[in-house]
Structure 1
Amino acid sequence: MDIFLTKALDRTRSFVQKLIENGNVWVNQKQIVKTSHKVKSGDLIRVVIPEPVSLNLTPQDIDIEIVYEDEHLAVINKPRGMVVHPGAGNYDSTLVNALLYRFEGKLSSINGVIRPGIVHRLDKDTSGLLIVAKTNEAHIKLSEALKNHRIKRVYFAICEGVLEEDSGIINAPIGRHPVNRLKMAVVPNGKEATTYFEVLERFDKYTFVKLRLKTGRTHQIRVHMSYIGHPLLGDVLYGRPKNEFGVEGQLLHAGEIEFVHPVENKPMSFKVELPDYFKEILEALRKRSQKQDKIQH
């Protein structure tokens, strides 16, 4: 049902799934709440799209780094610690508040009033590149490209432990954790999830890695790295509660993104450097490794 309505209504799949789960879809006068409901020929489907809830989101003059901008989209370098869009307990100082101010409200409305322009997300403590849609046309095409794995996203991270393989593929389905609903987990009935990793540097107790996503599940890199026994440094949800650097929040940076412009149909490629705090920890690990090498020799 969610796949059928996504095409029929020309909306994002997440928007349609919420409609179904909130009881806004009827099939042959019977209300359904399962997105997996099978559509049959001859079905009479009724959909009620609620009026947008006015949350009076306030545009806020928050400094954000705009890597690229045109009339259709923008590419943002999101800082660590910034929530992407409003939610429970976070109704201001989010990226959306900053975008509303910076672009004077000229953002796509596909994802409703809470997530205007937001095509994909980064976790609060993940820094790096994010695409924002200004028009509905750009949003729909970017969402389609994302779903079909045509947006290349490269991340950099420091994980705990020393990875033995120089590169590898983690292919393990991800779904909601069976006990802790705040977490995701590798579960048998989860959604397909694939992460590619490549070792950049090894240290005594840590590994600096480059990661590429094929799919984009919630917390995917964090879940997959924890699953193979190498949680990200600072990740208190999927790793250790404390670490020697006093970092709170995973060291994960979305450093590269490539896609085809949704309207102008030209290739787009962007890169941003690692944040200073990330570089400082890397430098500390390198110095420590050099000292250990000297002692051994």
Structure 2
Amino acid sequence: MTAPPPLLQPIHEDPYLLVLDKPAGLLCVPGRGEEKQDCLSARAMRQWPDALIVHRLDMGTSGLVVMARGIEMQRALSAAFAERRVHKRYEAIVDGRMPLHEDWSLIDTPLMADWPRRPLQKTDPAGKPSLTRWRALAFASSPGEPEATHVLLEPLTGRSHQLRVHLLSIGHPILGDALYGNAAVQARAPRLLLHASELGLVHPVTQQDLRWKSPSGFSLSRP
């Protein structure tokens, strides 16, 4: 008999919303097939029967996810995401050396579905406007070894696979990315090195300005 999954330990819990720290490798919502029914939303509903999904992280991405408690709160939080009133910050380890500076840089490249290779996405001038801010924190370089950079990311739009495709488009795929990285990039990490490290919003009921953080565990030292 399969043991039940461990209980979720919320980062934040109140009568209106939850903030959870999703592990890498866990779906946010059920997939197709019996083997893909275990997911963050199913686990949450076992503990909080009124828990409803608001947004998603890719299965390989770890980090912060907010869930609504009840349909009215789901509508309010969904509107906050749609209207870009939610602060989202990610961390990633990417291939190659990105320039280190204090200012944020912008990737402004439209994205669309790559229909022959679904669920992949691709850059395309005819795609939907897509914006990502990035700032490199540190890079690692060793003789004979490929370089890597620890980077902060802030998606200003919410396209599918946006961070992964935008980084690939500037020549810096995320290490461990089984969808967009080549074999060498995939082999350099046991998982996708992408983590949702900060989430902030104004609470729809209390009007508190809330911000949560989750350490990525990623680190690179300057040479």
Give the aligned partner of residue 70 of structure 1.
Answer: 14
**3-state DSSP class of the match of 1:198?**
strand
Give the aligned partner of residue 171 of structure 2.
Answer: 229
- Return the TM-score normalized by structure 2: 0.88
Work out whether residues 236 and 242 of structure 1, in 8 Å CA contact, stay in contact via their aligned partners in 2.
no
Work out whether residues 159 and 230 of structure 1, in 8 Å CA contact, stay in contact via their aligned partners in 2.
yes
Say whether residues 1:142 and 2:87 are aligned partners. no
Offset at residue 243 of structure 1 (A): 4.3
Give the aligned partner of residue 255 of structure 1.
Answer: 197
Match of 1:240 among 161, 182, 188: 182
Q: Which amino acid aligns with 1:84?
A: C
**3-state DSSP class of the match of 2:195?**
strand
Give the aligned partner of residue 181 of structure 1.
Answer: 118
> Deviations for 1:244-266, whole angstroms, at most 9, x for unmatched residues?
86524320010001101012211
Q: Which amino acid aligns with 2:17?
A: L
Match of 1:130 among 65, 88, 107: 65
Say whether residues 1:210 and 2:152 are aligned partners. yes
Match of 1:170 among 107, 114, 118: 107
How far, CA to CA, are the matches of 2:71 and 2:182 in structure 1? 41
Give the number of the structure with larger relative contact order, counting CA–CA contacts within 8 Å between residues 6 or more apart: 2
Give the aligned partner of residue 31 of structure 1.
Answer: none
Offset at residue 88 of structure 1 (A): 1.3
Say whether residues 1:94 and 2:39 are aligned partners. yes
Give the superposed CA RMSD.
1.8
Matched ranges for 1:154-165 at <5 A: 154-164=89-99
| Structure 1 or 2: more helix by fraction | 1
Alignment gaps of 5+ in structure 2: 142-146
Say whether residues 1:190 and 2:135 are aligned partners. no
> Which of structure 1's runs of 4+ aligned residues deviate more than 4 A?
243-246
**3-state DSSP class of the match of 2:53?**
coil
Offset at residue 189 of structure 1 (A): 2.1
Question: Which structure is larger by alpha-carbon Rg, 1 or 2?
Answer: 1
| Structure 1 or 2: more strand by fraction | 2
**3-state DSSP class of the match of 2:10?**
strand
CA 1:168–1:135: 2 relative to 1, 3 Å? same
- Return the TM-score normalized by structure 1: 0.67
Work out whether residues 139 and 150 of structure 2, in 8 Å CA contact, stay in contact via their aligned partners in 1.
yes
Work out whether residues 255 and 274 of structure 1, in 8 Å CA contact, stay in contact via their aligned partners in 2.
yes
**3-state DSSP class of the match of 1:224?**
helix
**3-state DSSP class of the match of 2:7?**
coil
**3-state DSSP class of the match of 2:215?**
coil
Work out whether residues 61 and 102 of structure 1, in 8 Å CA contact, stay in contact via their aligned partners in 2.
no
Offset at residue 92 of structure 1 (A): 2.4
**3-state DSSP class of the match of 1:101?**
helix
> Deviations for 1:172-228, whole angstroms, at most 9, x for unmatched residues?
111101431120111222211100000100222111000111111111100100011
Match of 1:79 among 23, 29, 32: 23
Q: Which amino acid aligns with 1:155?
A: Y
Alignment gaps of 5+ in structure 1: 1-59, 108-116, 291-297
CA 1:244–1:99: 2 relative to 1, 3 Å? closer
**3-state DSSP class of the match of 1:179?**
helix
Work out whether residues 65 and 78 of structure 1, in 8 Å CA contact, stay in contact via their aligned partners in 2.
no
Work out whether residues 169 and 195 of structure 1, in 8 Å CA contact, stay in contact via their aligned partners in 2.
yes
**3-state DSSP class of the match of 2:79?**
helix
Work out whether residues 174 and 185 of structure 2, in 8 Å CA contact, stay in contact via their aligned partners in 1.
no
Work out whether residues 95 and 185 of structure 2, in 8 Å CA contact, stay in contact via their aligned partners in 1.
no
Give the aligned partner of residue 28 of structure 1.
Answer: none
